Amino acid sequence: MIFDFLRRKYVALTPEEWVRQHFVHFLVSQKGYPKTLLANEVELKVGEKKLRCDTLLYNQEARPRMIVEYKAPTVTLQQKTFDQISVYNLLLKVDYLVVSNGLSHYVCRMDYSNRSYTFLKDIPDYGSL
Protein backbone atom coordinates (compact mmCIF):
# COMPACT_ATOMS: atom_id res chain seq x y z
CA MET A 1 0.00 0.00 0.00
CA ILE A 2 1.06 3.59 -0.59
CA PHE A 3 -0.49 6.83 0.64
CA ASP A 4 -1.94 8.95 -2.17
CA PHE A 5 -1.69 12.51 -0.85
CA LEU A 6 -4.18 13.77 -3.46
CA ARG A 7 -6.88 11.20 -2.66
CA ARG A 8 -5.87 11.25 1.02
CA LYS A 9 -6.00 7.50 1.36
CA TYR A 10 -3.88 4.38 1.04
CA VAL A 11 -4.09 2.58 -2.31
CA ALA A 12 -2.60 -0.64 -3.65
CA LEU A 13 0.99 -0.16 -4.80
CA THR A 14 0.77 -1.54 -8.33
CA PRO A 15 3.49 -0.75 -10.87
CA GLU A 16 1.20 1.85 -12.50
CA GLU A 17 0.45 3.39 -9.10
CA TRP A 18 4.18 3.63 -8.42
CA VAL A 19 4.52 5.70 -11.61
CA ARG A 20 1.51 7.87 -10.70
CA GLN A 21 2.76 8.67 -7.21
CA HIS A 22 6.26 9.54 -8.36
CA PHE A 23 4.99 11.62 -11.26
CA VAL A 24 2.52 13.62 -9.17
CA HIS A 25 5.17 14.29 -6.53
CA PHE A 26 7.51 15.42 -9.33
CA LEU A 27 4.85 17.81 -10.68
CA VAL A 28 4.31 19.33 -7.23
CA SER A 29 7.88 19.42 -5.89
CA GLN A 30 9.89 20.06 -9.07
CA LYS A 31 7.49 21.75 -11.48
CA GLY A 32 5.47 23.89 -9.04
CA TYR A 33 2.03 22.43 -9.72
CA PRO A 34 -0.39 23.23 -6.86
CA LYS A 35 -1.58 19.96 -5.34
CA THR A 36 -4.99 21.57 -4.81
CA LEU A 37 -5.44 21.70 -8.60
CA LEU A 38 -4.49 18.05 -9.21
CA ALA A 39 -6.79 15.03 -8.92
CA ASN A 40 -6.13 11.30 -9.34
CA GLU A 41 -8.52 8.72 -10.76
CA VAL A 42 -11.12 11.15 -12.09
CA GLU A 43 -14.23 9.42 -13.42
CA LEU A 44 -15.72 10.47 -16.75
CA LYS A 45 -19.03 9.28 -18.16
CA VAL A 46 -19.92 8.75 -21.80
CA GLY A 47 -23.53 7.64 -21.79
CA GLU A 48 -23.54 4.49 -19.67
CA LYS A 49 -19.80 3.92 -20.07
CA LYS A 50 -17.47 5.05 -17.29
CA LEU A 51 -13.88 6.05 -18.02
CA ARG A 52 -11.18 7.06 -15.58
CA CYS A 53 -8.42 9.64 -16.11
CA ASP A 54 -5.29 8.82 -14.17
CA THR A 55 -4.52 12.44 -13.24
CA LEU A 56 -6.10 15.75 -14.16
CA LEU A 57 -4.73 19.23 -13.65
CA TYR A 58 -7.38 21.93 -13.30
CA ASN A 59 -7.06 25.68 -13.66
CA GLN A 60 -8.25 28.16 -11.02
CA GLU A 61 -11.77 28.05 -12.50
CA ALA A 62 -11.90 24.23 -12.08
CA ARG A 63 -11.60 23.65 -15.84
CA PRO A 64 -9.44 20.65 -16.83
CA ARG A 65 -6.12 21.84 -18.23
CA MET A 66 -3.97 18.69 -18.51
CA ILE A 67 -4.59 14.95 -18.67
CA VAL A 68 -1.85 12.57 -17.55
CA GLU A 69 -2.05 8.88 -18.42
CA TYR A 70 0.26 6.36 -16.73
CA LYS A 71 1.42 2.89 -17.62
CA ALA A 72 3.61 0.50 -15.66
CA PRO A 73 7.36 0.78 -16.30
CA THR A 74 7.28 -2.57 -18.15
CA VAL A 75 4.66 -1.27 -20.61
CA THR A 76 5.99 0.29 -23.80
CA LEU A 77 4.18 3.50 -24.69
CA GLN A 78 2.48 2.83 -28.00
CA GLN A 79 -0.22 4.32 -30.20
CA LYS A 80 -2.83 2.55 -28.07
CA THR A 81 -1.84 4.74 -25.10
CA PHE A 82 -2.19 7.90 -27.15
CA ASP A 83 -5.56 6.68 -28.47
CA GLN A 84 -6.73 6.17 -24.90
CA ILE A 85 -5.79 9.66 -23.74
CA SER A 86 -7.30 11.11 -26.94
CA VAL A 87 -10.68 9.59 -26.06
CA TYR A 88 -10.56 11.36 -22.69
CA ASN A 89 -9.64 14.57 -24.44
CA LEU A 90 -12.66 14.39 -26.74
CA LEU A 91 -14.67 15.04 -23.57
CA LEU A 92 -12.35 17.46 -21.77
CA LYS A 93 -10.54 19.44 -24.50
CA VAL A 94 -7.49 20.19 -22.38
CA ASP A 95 -4.41 22.19 -23.33
CA TYR A 96 -1.85 19.45 -22.56
CA LEU A 97 -1.70 15.66 -22.86
CA VAL A 98 0.99 13.68 -21.01
CA VAL A 99 1.76 9.96 -21.07
CA SER A 100 4.39 8.29 -18.91
CA ASN A 101 5.53 4.84 -17.89
CA GLY A 102 7.97 6.30 -15.37
CA LEU A 103 10.88 5.83 -17.78
CA SER A 104 9.61 7.58 -20.91
CA HIS A 105 7.42 10.67 -20.91
CA TYR A 106 5.65 12.43 -23.76
CA VAL A 107 3.87 15.76 -23.51
CA CYS A 108 2.04 17.62 -26.21
CA ARG A 109 0.31 20.98 -26.34
CA MET A 110 -2.98 21.04 -28.18
CA ASP A 111 -3.75 23.74 -30.74
CA TYR A 112 -7.47 23.54 -31.41
CA SER A 113 -7.63 26.55 -33.72
CA ASN A 114 -5.20 24.88 -36.14
CA ARG A 115 -6.37 21.32 -35.38
CA SER A 116 -2.86 20.27 -34.45
CA TYR A 117 -0.56 19.48 -31.56
CA THR A 118 3.09 19.98 -30.75
CA PHE A 119 5.27 17.59 -28.77
CA LEU A 120 7.29 19.42 -26.13
CA LYS A 121 10.80 18.48 -25.02
CA ASP A 122 9.93 18.62 -21.32
CA ILE A 123 7.03 18.78 -18.89
CA PRO A 124 6.33 22.51 -18.56
CA ASP A 125 6.65 24.25 -15.21
CA TYR A 126 3.29 25.27 -13.81
CA GLY A 127 4.13 28.96 -14.16
CA SER A 128 4.66 28.61 -17.92
CA LEU A 129 1.35 26.89 -18.72
Domain boundaries, the chain: 2-128
- Average pLDDT over the chain reads 94
> Looking at the predicted structure, is the pLDDT value of residue 106 above 90?
yes
Q: What is the pLDDT of residue 48?
A: 85
Helix H or strand E encompassing 71: none
Q: What is the pLDDT of residue 119?
A: 95
CATH of 2-128, one of 3.90.1570.30, 1.10.10.10, 3.10.20.30, 3.30.70.20: 3.90.1570.30
pTM, two decimal places:
0.92
d(CA 38, CA 66): 9
**CB-count exposure of residue 108 (10 Å: 0-12, 13-18, 19+):** middle
Work out the pLDDT band at 117, boundaries 50, 70, 90. Answer: very high
Using alpha carbons, select from 106, 96, 100 the residue that is nearest to residue 57.
Answer: 96
> Looking at the predicted structure, is the pLDDT value of residue 3 above 90?
yes
pLDDT tens for 37-65 read 999 999 988 788 888 999 999 999 999 99
> Looking at the predicted structure, is the pLDDT value of residue 20 above 90?
yes
> Looking at the predicted structure, is the pLDDT value of residue 103 above 90?
yes
Q: What is the pLDDT of residue 45?
A: 84
